[in-house]
Structure 1
Amino acid sequence: MAAKIIVLGSLNGNFESAFKKLAPLHAKQHFSFAIVTGNLFSAEQDADSLSRLLNGQVNVPLSTYFTVGTNPLPEQVIERIEKGEDVCENLHFLGKRSVTKTSDGIRIVALGGVLDKTIVGGQSKEQHLPLHTADDARILRGANSADILLTAIWPSGVWTGSNIPLTPEKQAAIVSSEEVAELCSALKPRYHFSTSPSDFFYEREPFFHPPSSESDDRPITRFISLAPFGNPAKEKALYAFNLQTREVTSSIPAGSTVSPFLAWTNPKKRSAPHDSGGQYGRFANGHDHHGNGHHARRRKGERGPLPGPDQCFFCLSNANLDTHMICSIGEESYVTTAKGPLPASDTFASSGLSFPCHQLIIPLPHEPTFRQMAGDANRIHQEMNKFKEALQAMVATQSRHKLGAVTWEISRQTGVHLHWQFLPVSIDLLRKGLVEAGFKVEAENRNFPPFQETELGSGVDETSDYFRVWLWSDDGDTGIRSKELVMRLDEGFRFDLQFGRRVMAKLLGLEDRLYWQDVVQSVADETKDVEKFKEVFKPWDFAA
């Protein structure tokens, strides 16, 4: 079933008249939801109208989404958002950098604010200021796909190859960036909405993206920039359309052009994200998967957006991500230190490591298994394996071959976001077979399926759930020894998600640190350990 959507240009504080006009339209057309582009509020918002909005005296007739425009959000609005509440009934803040899936299954990727070129590296920390960084835009590319892309500024050169006139004066007034162009090129959204800086409406001809190596499909994007609502020139400020979820492009519309962004990187298309319940492990920050988001207050009986990458604590598009724990970001995956690490900061001090070195290697796509990454699985696995090998080499060198490493993965169709956990361990335990025995004995004691020694590669062809562990050591003399053990799990098998940590806690004599919640460090200590890790990892960090 198609979703009927209406999009509004910048309201600039005139939300009362806008929602008043929207009410009869919605009563007649029954829209699924509305989106406000640009600025919902003005830079000097009228206090009385804002008070009426926050007090529920302004009727917002249907679910309406907005992000940060080019004006800061009012303090009263920020306070409400930070409490995890909607601004008022039916008015939902998407976040400045977010991925949201509506109850209709429509996937919205939002990037608010203008590009702050003074920040050379890193993400913007303040989620309510009208600024974003190059890394904010780059991280959102990990969303992989979008039905609707919503940005406060235009993608650079979007008018290239277009026959729709855009005067030099209008071009000069437009705020645009290559980063947004790269984001549009990567996500290939079906619609890309922005806002015009003055009283004009612009709708470019549809443009098609080159096919990927996995598909002959040519995704079509329609770029539309709406004029401000209530503009004196009477330029178009409302845009209504129907959008069918999971619709495959069967033909290229007449008048379409090639993508104006062919000069920029065009990542291969990835499969749409899958979201389901599960445990996040040790990279959470106190929020749960099903609540405490910004959709807490809404009309009775109405379903809000389903939780997606914006609420997953392994997804870089999550605005609440503990970014101070990120150690290295590659093209397909990234490395972070674990929250509530199993080893303490001094566990391996005698072996040359002054930090826990409990690391997570996390793929960018929001998928529970490599199989669901489809055509991208092998490439993603290759980079994750490269990170694993770099960590192994670092541990061996830094410890002067006193330490080897154990890495494990839980692959479950009902999981949330695949990841690997990496831990150093004494080379003596590895070489004497005690680590392998530890995993096998614990599995036998729990009546788990037996381990098999095999090599799954990316695991893209695996149809069953599984737990696998890699054992690696290099003594600097006889060379490297490695082994991959796999435990295949039947559908519905109740597997202990703490199994890997439980085994390693016994082997390392750290059973008092089994539960990550009991050993969470302060932000200052986490930051200190991350900086120590990054300094030691520097010679092996191919993504730096």
Structure 2
Amino acid sequence: MASIKVLVAHSNVQNIDDALAKLTKLNSKQGPFDALFMLGDLHNSIKEIHTDGLPPTFYPSYNDDVTNTSTDLENHVTLLNNFGIYQLATGLKVVYTPHNFKQLDDRKELILQKLEMFNEKVDILISHIGGSKHSKEAGRNSGSDIIDAILRKVEPKYHFSYNDQLKYYENAPFQWKKSGRITRCMNIPVFGSKEKWAYAVLIELDDNESAYEVPPNIGSNPFEESKQNKRGREAKYTTDIKVNPFTKETQMKKPKIVLPNQCHFCFTNPNIEDHMFISINKNSYLTTAKGPLSVPKDEMPFSGHCLIIPIKHIPKISQSKTQEELLELNKELNDYELSIARMNFIKYDMSTIVFEISSSTSFHFHKQVIPVPKYLIFNFSSALDRQLYFNNEKFKLNGNLNFKQYTVGSSEYNDIVNDKNIEYMQFKVYETSEEQPIVYLSTFLTGEKIDLQFGRRVIAYVLRYPKRIMWNSPTCQQTKEQEIEDVKKFQSGYKNYDISN
């Protein structure tokens, strides 16, 4: 029985030299390894790395040539391009897909068509994005159904993903009933995260899968869940809704009605704080936030926390009277959003998070936009997972939230946000202003109790500002003079990006 010693590691461009030095030392002390799989956004720098002292090195890489499946470089690195299956000289079989969410969505049909031609099981699956089922089991918010389909087809012994750059996590191993194979799924964080960024494993090249020893910590296979368990989960979900025992009707608390002349976002309110306005357009306007979460930092001399608000008094934009009105308003809100993300990134070298709640019980829809230093933006996934735990496990009265990632503009995403009957909470994470944002969205039931401060709690943890969670806390309060000065500085920085000009 042949055994293959494999090393899997994750690094970015900035730390690649230090990471390679440690891997070389690891190969010398604990090797030699038969293969090294390098993960991460290394781009063209992979062509320039020095591989002296390293085992044969393989790098999953994305490019525009979908027919190009592997390339051998002069520095003894093999690029595993796009999506495919590769067999090493040792006999180790690997399936790889380095696509991010948008790339997966763009090439979904091509990937699934190619997957149909795979007729063999493999030793390793490497994917940028984790599968949706084991990501959910690990308490994470990201995952892809496409990766689930690949897992079902190839039943890898090991599945390595690397979307979460900050946290190492590993699911309980599970067994495939028909083949007897054991699969282990884990996320490998980046070098410098202070977590387990390199993983060494001895893989047995054994075709007699039924002979695999079942580990003591074996878990249930999420892909072979019984119908009884599914029904049990559905029943548990539906019984969370309160029902009148006499009439058998669902009981929902009536939402408070706020008229436009009482709404602090409406122009017809005589007490509206218009000294906080930054920009006014045809259908919406931009204002600084009361009790801002973020604070002036580095080259940004103002807090940067702002709100994008429709002028019309509506609880959700999908309730616009006509399709034309919906499209026009949605475009303007998104133009504002992107213009602020561009200002934050280009002028102040900052990332951006946008948070919104679309609910029929809201009094006036709005988006909250908050700048985040680039070195902190990677805290978002762990911050969201942390707050989800508190929301779903500790505070049982709150509606249960389950965030999934979507691609902006995809049919699945549009079907949710444009449906006036669907309630949702959403984050958009702009790491840069040049790429599409990463969208995290959770739907919830009408009438469920939702923590309106959920988004602020998450972003406060990202920014490491625990004392600024509540907008009306003494820490966050500004005088009117400070608010006016904040607006002036914001307008000065925003003038070349303002869509109302």
TM-score normalized by structure 2? Answer: 0.44
More helix by share: 2
